[in-house]
Structure 1
Amino acid sequence: MMIALLIAAIVAALVVFAFLCYKKAPPTQAIVVTGFGLARPKVVCGRGVFVLPIVQRADRLNMRLLKIDVKTPETGVKTKEGVSLWLDSVVTVQVYSENSTV
């Protein structure tokens, strides 16, 4: 009876450990895993990965559209001919994974 309880406790601990180590990346995010056992960072897009706690780190990278405001300085930007320009714009960028289609 004690052996069965011990085995059940070990199995439950392993299931909880696996559940805590598994990280899933939705299609709009990438997970970058660094740390022990990896020569280069591992990038996972749209799937899951196991991350060992304490020795590895998992960071999330947003892959949605980002809007960036671009403004010239107050003094303007001079062209080759010496004409000052003042430009304000909005740039939209998106990070694509290697396996996504453009």
Structure 2
Amino acid sequence: MMSGLQSNTFDNIILLCDSYKVSHYSQYPAGTEFIYSYFESRGGRFPNSVFFGLQYILKKNLVGQVITHEKIDEAKSILLSHFGRDIFNEEGWRYIAN
């Protein structure tokens, strides 16, 4: 268990989502191998939006080893504290880290 935050949680891609999404893996039917996702604007003040910053996001979050065992430990601790029970897919994240 961590005593306080050891790093900047905004630097941990595992934690960069709405917290309820952490449990989605357990809702997929057995044998699921592929998931396709997309995103879109929910609307707002302006009729159009500009997609900007993809190169920065990709380089910051998807280049090199961004998932480490330390970040997995941090996410597990924070999410356990947040939910009060263990719903974190530790096995899946360890697979990615290895």
Same fold (TM over 0.5): no
Q: Whose strand fraction is larger, Structure 1's or Structure 2's?
A: 1
Flag the structure with more relative contact order, 1 or 2, with Cα contacts below 8 A and sequence separation at least 6. Answer: 2
Report the TM-score range of the alignment, normalised by the length of the smaller protein: under 0.3
Q: Whose helix fraction is larger, Structure 1's or Structure 2's?
A: 2
- TM-score after normalising by structure 1: 0.21
